[in-house]
Amino acid sequence: MIPYGRQQISEADIQAVVEVLKSDFLTQGPAVPAFENAVSAYCGADYAMAVNSATSALHLACLALGVHAGDYVWTSPITFVASANCALYCGAEIDFVDIDPLTFNLSVQALEEKLHRAEQSSRLPKVIIPVHLCGLSCDMQAIHRLSKRYGFRIIEDASHAIGGKYRGQPIGNCRYSDISVFSFHPVKIITTGEGGLALTNDPDLARRMALLRSHGITREAAEMTREADGPWYYQQIELGFNYRMTDIQASLGLSQLSRMDAFVARRQQLAEFYRQNLSGLPVTVQNQPGDCYSALHLFVIRLQLGECEKSHREVFCRLREDGIGVNLHYIPVHLQPFYQKFGFKPGDYPQAEHYYAEAITLPLYPDLSESQQMQVVAALRDACFAKY
């Protein structure tokens, strides 16, 4: 089976991990800050907080922004559940903004209309979480402009998007947001096994996330309520978590980071090959606005069902039977059984649901070969048209 995504591990990656295993610190050593400094320097953000997953980073980001019961948080329905769950962890209410049918990202027009309505009913969101689907940046300048007018904060769920650019600058620089979050799960652009990271330019948000990442414990005299009892002393001043990344993971991340630009360039090359070879098939692909350089975590096609002889499900199953490990990113979050209890129902986000009825993720990862891509394209042609 050709998978839809997979990591690339080099000898240098293995060596980097082995070095940490032989060192004094498996966790809370020098590799985590080295990785944080490298990511913040790459992205051009002031502070980086490495954690054990993007899910944890999203949770910390919401907490740092003060999200709590009675608040509203909005995100896209076409995302992994973690983008919405983070608001629920904080006791807030979640709501969704429908997607743009061409970029598959949260629609700025739908957002503007929803904000206008929310203002009239005094239900404006505290935080909006745009998701850079497949590694393609949302229209952050427009969302940022709306945040000034309506007074919400912004967390970029850039889990797919490290190595991508928006308006010529690295995604993650937080120029148009308060916090940006990356994931280092093995299918993402670079990996640490499990892992995530939050970036911000705000020292106060950075301090709060650092505190909550490690039990709410501080060793900084300035943060304590009184003078230290002695050199052993620390204080717990908040209810935090253990969301720390290990040095083993960070060393892998640091080693992977040195190949990240090459990974993304390769993904761009493979995507271009798909675009050229898919012409003539009943599919459309994600629109790439001129001010975006996508990290291309995923390559999603939408079947034009009117021109295809088979159903979405038939095409999907046929591809799997032919050894193509296609996937579907994502099932609209509002249709998940857990979300039904909040009153969401089919029909709430028509563009997202329409997308779900047509989308298929094709294999895309740096080590995918062009002959494998040809195999994917041939299998797709058969799946759409063959009499079987």
Ligand X SMILES: *Cc1c(COP(=O)(O)O)cnc(C)c1O
Give the residue, chosen from 153, 185, 213, 334, that forms a contact with ligand X under the rule CB under 6 A: 185
Contact between 7 and ligand X (CB under 6 A)? no
Contact between 83 and ligand X (CB under 6 A)? yes
Give the residue, chosen from 47, 72, 80, 166, that forms a contact with ligand X under the rule CB under 6 A: 80
Contact between 302 and ligand X (CB under 6 A)? no
User: How many whole angstroms separate alpha carbon 171 and alpha carbon 184?
Assistant: 15
Contact between 97 and ligand X (CB under 6 A)? no
Give the residue, chosen from 79, 192, 249, 294, that forms a contact with ligand X under the rule CB under 6 A: 79
Smallest separation (angstroms) from ligand X to the CB of 160: 6
Contact between 218 and ligand X (CB under 6 A)? no
Nearer to ligand X, 271 or 379 (CB): 271
Nearer to ligand X, 106 or 377 (CB): 106
Farthest-apart Cα atoms in the chain, separation? 79
User: How many whole angstroms separate alpha carbon 115 and alpha carbon 109?
Assistant: 10
Helix, strand, or coil here: 165?
A: strand
Our separate counts of H helices and E strands in the chain read 13, 15
Give the H/E segment covering residue 37.
helix 31-43
Stretch of 67-75, 80-88, 171-179, 337-345 contacting ligand X, by CB under 6 A: 80-88
Neighbours of 182 (CB within 10 A): 30
User: How many whole angstroms separate alpha carbon 163 and alpha carbon 267?
Assistant: 11
361 forms beta bridges with 300, 327
User: What residues numbered 117-146 form the site for ligand X, per CB under 6 A?
Assistant: 131
Contact between 197 and ligand X (CB under 6 A)? no
User: How many whole angstroms separate alpha carbon 284 and alpha carbon 381?
Assistant: 14
For 101-139, give the secondary structure using H, E and C.
CCCCCECHHHHHHHHHHHHHCCCCCCEEECECHHHCCCC
Nearer to ligand X, 125 or 196 (CB): 196
Q: Parallel, antiparallel, or unpaired: how do β-strands 179-183 and 153-157 relate?
A: parallel
Q: Which structure tokens are listed for 381?
A: 């042609």
Q: Which structure tokens are listed for 234?
A: 């620390």
**Annotated catalytic residue 22:** no
Contact between 53 and ligand X (CB under 6 A)? yes
CA distances from 238 to 55, 65, 179 (A): 20, 15, 20
Stretch of 77-85, 140-148, 172-180, 199-207 contacting ligand X, by CB under 6 A: 77-85
30 DSSP assignment: S
Q: Considering the candidates 114, 126, 165, 188, report the single residue annotated as catalytic.
A: 188
Q: Which structure tokens are listed for 318?
A: 């046929």
Residue pointed to by tokens 């493979």: 270
Contact between 96 and ligand X (CB under 6 A)? no
Size of site (CB under 6 A) for ligand X: 14
Stretch of 52-60, 247-255, 261-269, 272-280 contacting ligand X, by CB under 6 A: 52-60
Nearer to ligand X, 83 or 251 (CB): 83
Contact between 196 and ligand X (CB under 6 A)? yes
- Give contact residues for ligand X (rule: CB under 6 A): 53-55, 79-80, 82-83, 131, 157, 159-160, 183, 185, 196
Give catalytic residues, as residue numbers. 188
